Amino acid sequence: DQQVKQNSPSLSVQEGRISILNCDYTNSMFDYFLWYKKYPAEGPTFLISISSIKDKNEDGRFTVFLNKSAKHLSLHIVPSQPGDSAVYFCAASLRSSGAGSYQLTFGKGTKLSVIP
Amino acid sequence: GAGVSQSPRYKVAKRGQDVALRCDPISGHVSLFWYQQALGQGPEFLTYFQNEAQLDKSGLPSDRFFAERPEGSVSTLKIQRTQQEDSAVYLCASSPGQAEETQYFGPGTRLLVL
């Protein structure tokens, strides 16, 4: 049973427009969320994160929105650039679990293609 | 500065062979994680170290998988008697402290078991 779901395997966006990547989760105990970007043959690169006490976090062209009641988060990229073309992974963790492990639970990823 | 490095980058093994995958975390990072990423999937947690202590190994799929970090820096993931379903990319990640959520990933080792 997948606890973090990215239901869109792929997304194509015109350069300069907004890219919106979505992520849903089922475990209400998750309290920290991250987005990673991955190019082929490379490891995931951290992009942006958000704590469950916030509903928005912004860093340059990237904004993450969190809707706890809907157990949904989204990543907005504005404006989209061809270099943003990559696979984007949503991840969640139980920071306050006290269990001694801070493992990340990942979605399956969404492949973003930004068309010049 | 240097990021997380992993070796080898690619490994082809015959079924039944033992393999050892190495991870060099970012210098000074306390926490180290191993993940397994199958084709078309997201990374899945295998095990976690805080310094040399293996605090969580709940994600290891079988007793053929073993990980160690004897001096609290370099870590080795060993897979004994490899099987075809072990074919995947094995990712290592490190983070500065025990409660630091941002994990920094290495490039991964792609393992193919024939």
The three state secondary structure string of chain B is CCCCEEECCEEEECCCCCEEEEEECCCCCCEEEEEEECCCCCCEEEEEEECCEEEECCCCCCCCEEEECCCCCCEEEEECCCCHHHCEEEEEEEECCCCCCCCEECCCEEEEEC
Mean pLDDT (chain B) is 94
Q: Choose the mutation target among A27, A103, A110 for the interface with B, i.e. most B CBs under 10 Å.
A: A103
Residues in CB range of A53: below 8 A, 6 or more apart: none
Q: A115 CA to chain B: closest CA distance, Å?
A: 22
Nearest CB to B106; choose among A43, A49, A104: A43
Which of these ranges, A11-15, A39-43, B23-27, has the smallest mean pLDDT?
A39-43
Q: Which residues contact A67 (CB under 8 A, 6 or more apart)?
A: A55, A73
Q: Is B28 exposed, middle or buried (0-12, 13-18, 19+ CB in 10 A)?
A: exposed
Which of the two residues, A97 and A86, has the higher pLDDT score? A86
> Can you give the pLDDT at residue A30?
92
Contact B99 A100 (CB under 8 A): no
- In this complex, do B59 and A36 lie within 8 Å of one another by their Cβ atoms? no
Pull the structure tokens for residue A17: 């427009």
Q: Is the pLDDT of residue B1 over 60?
A: no
Residue among B58, B59, B101 whose CB faces A32 most closely = B101
> What is the average per-residue pLDDT within B50-71?
95
For A39-109, strand residue ranges (E) read 45-51, 56-59, 62-67, 72-77, 86-93, 105-106
**Tokens 């049973």 belong to residue:** A1
B23: confidence class by pLDDT, cuts 50, 70, 90: very high
Measured CA distances, A37 to A44, A75, A101, B72 (Å): 5, 11, 23, 28
Residue B59's pLDDT is 94
Q: Tell me the residue type at B97.
A: G
Residue A26: pLDDT above 90? yes
Average pLDDT in the B55-63 region?
Answer: 93
| Interface check A39 vs B, CB under 8 A | no
Mean of the pLDDT values across residues B88-107?
88
pLDDT band at B63 (very low <50, low <70, confident <90, very high): very high
Q: What is the pLDDT of residue A102?
A: 80
pLDDT at residue B45, as a whole number: 95
* Look-up of token digits 């949904």: A72
Does the pLDDT of residue B98 top 70, yes or no? Answer: no
